[in-house]
Amino acid sequence: MESPTRRLKSIVPALVVALLLSACAGATPTPTGAGVSSSPAGPSQTLTTAPVTLRILRYTATKAEEDLHASWIAEFKKDHPNITIEAEVVPFGELSNKIQASVAGGNPPDIFFIDGPNTKTYAYLKILRPLDQYLPAGFKADIVDATLEEQSYQGQLYSMPDRQTAPALFYNKDMLDAIGVKPPTKLADAWTWDEALKVWMQLKAKSPDVWPLEPSRFGAGGAGFYYRDGIFSRSAGDRSAPISSSLYKTFAAISPDGTTVQGYIDSPEAITAGKWFQDLTMVHAVTSKVGIPNAFLDKKAAMTIDHEGILGRMNTQYPNGGFNIGVTPMPYFKKPVVMTGSNASGISARSTHPAEAAAYLNFIYNDANRLRYWDANRNMPARKSLFDKLPAYKDYPLSMLKEQLLTIGAPRPPTPAWAIFDSIINAAIKDISLGAPVETTLHKAAVDVDKELAKYPK
Amino acid sequence: MLTFATPFLWMFGSAFKTQGDIFAHAYPLTWETILPARPTLDNFASVIFGRGIGRNFLNNLIVAAAQVVLTLTVCAMAAYAFARLRFPGRDALFGLVLFAALIPFEATMIPLFQVMGILDLRSTYFALFLPWIANPLGIFLLRQAFLEVPRDYEEAAIIEGASRLQIFWNIVLPMSRPALITLVLLTFLWSWNSYLWPLIVMQDSSKQVIQVAIASFSAPEQLPSWGDIFAASALATVPVLTIFLLLQRYYVRGVAMSGLK
């Protein structure tokens, strides 16, 4: 039976129209003005002293994060006794459904927590409001480049970055030691994909019952999650190549004006990378065609493409200490690249209390609270200056992950049509991993994506 | 039978496993794939005492009970009207009721959400069951069953001076018990397993249903709490399995009476 979520996605185009009508129906409300006080909301913002209730929609988190959110609300209330904050919490995977329903239903919260790559979609649909006027001086310039690109639209920041991720190749050190391989620890020494494949073949020869590379744990499991699998094709490109070159297009995956992906996701380099990727399952059998939940942590796979969150998951599964885990920079074909992205939050375009909402966001995103946040989840911060305040990022392995984020991090292709782009390319990647002809599959995906891009005129 | 039972066995078995054991023996298949080698009640303790799943369980019971009772009441009365009463436009109206069953929920979700806002019912238990009590399939199922009741009984009762309500209550309903129980079963299942509507309309987590609560066990970037998920899923499955096993014989007869066979 088709899942409710999947069925909901089928009505997204209709919902887009409804949202646009909804957004256009009323002018953006102005801040309330019944009395004012000095404000941390931004350069020229003032806060009302009248009673205000801010509604927040966010995703469920770990206990440590939940506790932190509760503390923030209590602390903010102490400084702003007239502002009451009500939080609604939903499963992370349902944020999009919930946001769209609440907006279309005319009942959006003041603050949304969202998946960062969806920022442009919500900005385009006028669900979120631009934040630049509310930001403290220097805040925007401090955001990691890839994050700033991901969470901006038409030059304005639309969502505040919670944290960042940038995947790398994690490995079971004991298994690598058994074949006498010491993977590089510096980005400058990163393997090429062919070098990685040689190691995987050695691992396979040594332990046939262990998958050299874990099938993706992302998405539905197995191949077909662009955040992870798109790295293969994008690393066959080169962001420093001329913008009209096929190499640049392969890296970019979408045209600069966001109108086409033909010649980008189906470039000659992307097709070659796609064939190489297909061989992992169809020829070399170094990774499973289907998902195997928890394979790496269960020691059924020797290596995995994941982000630093895996370190926390290791601690969850093995509270008394697991196996030795190592990490090596992401391999590449032409130039290293890692996909970035994580969670974020923004202010509803229809909020009647944007200054107060901004004050709350500026409070929870100030340096002190971001450091508390890092302490709760240990994911990379999304602002450059915070790395200097976290000594853990001075040494390997976190220093290497930080270097990847700052130097080879790239957001997923920036477009308001990201969700449907993701859906189409993921299906194509899955088909390719199961043996579909690479060139025709990628070309068809490109044509299909272009049709969707056309639905989002500038 | 084995094909049907295996996922349930795996779920119940995994509920008693530690986080590290849940997938460790998934392949190749051995007895440890299903049964826990080192059984533990930690997962149940975690979801009951740590996550307070009991509250969500109770919410489901409240919503399902209300939905079953009201659905039965509304559908039975509507079905009787369509089966026995003569009024202008009856067949056309019944056609519209059947047509309503063809409209996917996703198409009505946003308007329903708005209606709940207008009625100021969002985040109440009423919002969880009220939209579903006039169930087109339930009306159809009961109408077909009521048509199977011989008219002779009703005519004899009319001669004896019985009112419509008495006929409905004392003759038609008792003779349609399998169909009524089938509707009870189906309504309970629909209500118990509902997910998207409670997710959308319920903003108060203390009134949230168990299916949404289970989905909330996973946090982004974190390892899913597999043990908690299996334990909560096992708990959530018990009422459904129990009521189905108890009422399945009526279900078969009820479907047969409705003409759906």
A 97-116 residues with CB < 8 A to B: 97-98, 101-102, 104-107
Mean pLDDT for back-to-back runs of 10 residues, chain B (261 residues): 86 90 80 89 94 95 97 96 94 94 89 92 94 94 93 90 92 93 93 94 92 87 82 95 85 65 45
* C-alpha B65, offset from chain centre: 10
- Say what the pLDDT of residue A32 is: 35
Calculate how close chain A gets to B6, using CA atoms only, in Å: 18
Residue A306: strand pairing partners:
A168
Residue B155: strand pairing partners:
none
Residues of chain B whose C-beta is under 8 A from some C-beta in A? 19-20, 22-24, 26-27, 104-107, 109-110, 113-114, 117, 122, 195-196, 199-200, 203, 205, 212, 215-223, 225-226
Answer yes or no: is the ipTM higher than 0.90: no
**A366 reaches B (C-beta below 8 A):** no
Q: Tell me, what DSSP letter sits at residue B30?
A: -
Contact A312 B223 (CB under 8 A): yes
Distance CA B187, CA A143 (A): 51
Chain B residues close to A295, C-beta within 8 Å: 23
- Say what the pLDDT of residue A107 is: 82
Contact B24 A298 (CB under 8 A): yes
Contact A317 B20 (CB under 8 A): yes
- Say what the pLDDT of residue A23 is: 39
Q: Which two tokens stand for residue A130?
A: 């631009």
Share of chain B above pLDDT 90, in %: 66
Distance CA B251, CA A401 (A): 58
Residue B216: which of A18, A60, A105 has the nearest Cβ? Answer: A60
Which chain B residue has the Cα nearest residue A210?
A: B27
- Say what the pLDDT of residue B258 is: 60
Q: Please give the full DSSP string across A149-215, using - where no structure is assigned.
A: HHTEETTEE-SEE--B---EEEEEHHHHHHTT-----SGGGPPBHHHHHHHHHHHHHH-TTSEEEPP
Nearest to A152 by CA among A353, A357, A416: A416
Distance CA B217, CA B226 (A): 9
Contact B205 A88 (CB under 8 A): yes
Contact B110 A343 (CB under 8 A): no
**A91 reaches B (C-beta below 8 A):** yes
Contact A11 B220 (CB under 8 A): no
Distance CA A90, CA B213 (A): 9
Residue A106: which of B23, B117, B225 has the nearest Cβ? Answer: B117
Is the bond preceding A397 in cis, omega lying within 30 degrees of 0? yes
**A62 reaches B (C-beta below 8 A):** yes
Residue A301: strand pairing partners:
A211
Helix-, strand-, coil-residue percentages of chain B, each rounded to 5? 75, 0, 25
Contact A309 B222 (CB under 8 A): yes
Nearest to A79 by CA among A367, A356, A354, A375: A356
Contact A317 B109 (CB under 8 A): no
Q: How many contacts (CB atoms, under 8 Å) link A and B?
A: 104
Contact A91 B20 (CB under 8 A): no
Mean pLDDT for back-to-back runs of 10 residues, chain A (458 residues): 40 42 37 38 74 95 92 97 95 88 88 94 95 96 96 97 95 97 97 98 96 90 92 98 98 96 98 98 95 90 94 82 93 97 95 96 97 93 97 94 97 94 96 97 98 91
In tens, the pLDDT along B121-180 reads 999 999 999 999 999 999 999 999 999 999 999 889 999 899 999 999 999 999 999 999
Which chain B residue has the Cα nearest residue A96?
A: B200
- Say what the pLDDT of residue B94 is: 95
B112: helix, strand or coil: helix
- Say what the pLDDT of residue B28 is: 76
φ and ψ of A301, to 5 deg: -140, 145
